[in-house]
Amino acid sequence: DADVTQTPRNRITKTGKRIMLECSQTKGHDRMYWYRQDPGLGLRLIYYSFDVKDINKGEISDGYSVSRQAQAKFSLSLESAIPNQTALYFCATSDFSGGIVDTQYFGPGTRLTVL
């Protein structure tokens, strides 16, 4: 079974609709992240969370919100979707266990299309 899962894998919605993307992990990691991927732009960080009570904005948080329901669950919401939020969204986890560097582990992605 995958360590990091995302639901749904694909979603088509209309402008103005509220959308929630969900991420669950069984890796036992404290740190979780949401990224979006656009062609030619690489990955950009939307939000990150170090634990249930610690949530932080990333580079491009406008138009998005998140909820960390438990250590293993981190949801991304688009309150009122717009077409330029059409992208591939990835959840990732990491476990900084006193070493030097976090290594991030990614879910399979959710392809979101806003019409």
Partner 1 sequence: AQSVTQLDSQVPVFEEAPVELRCNYSSSVSVYLFWYVQYPNQGLQLLLKYLSGSTLVKGINGFEAEFNKSQTSFHLRKPSVHISDTAEYFCAVTHGRSGGYQKVTFGTGTKLQVIP
User: Distance of CA 110 to CAs 67, 70, 86, 100, Å?
Assistant: 17, 20, 10, 30
Which amino acid belongs to residue 94?
Answer: S
Cα 39 versus chain centre, distance: 17
- Reduced to 3 states, what is the DSSP secondary structure of residue 96? coil
Binding to partner 1, residues 65-94 (CB under 8 A): 90, 92
Q: Which residues contact 97 (CB under 8 A, 6 or more apart)?
A: none
Place of tokens 């976090």: 102
Binding to partner 1, residues 43-62 (CB under 8 A): 43, 45, 48, 50, 56
Task: Please identify, using beta-carbon distances, which residue of 57 and 73 lies nearer to partner 1.
Answer: 57
The answer to whether residue 106 forms part of the interface with partner 1 (CB under 8 A) is yes
**8/49 Cα distance (integer angstroms):** 21
Among 1, 42, 84, 97, binds partner 1 (CB under 8 A): 42
Smallest distance from the beta carbon of 22 to partner 1, in angstroms?
15
Smallest distance from the beta carbon of 42 to partner 1, in angstroms?
4
Stretch that binds partner 1, among 14-22, 65-73, 75-83, 95-103 (CB under 8 A): 95-103
- Reduced to 3 states, what is the DSSP secondary structure of residue 111? strand
Rule CB under 8 A: which residues touch partner 1? 4, 40-43, 45, 48, 50, 56, 90, 92, 96, 100-109
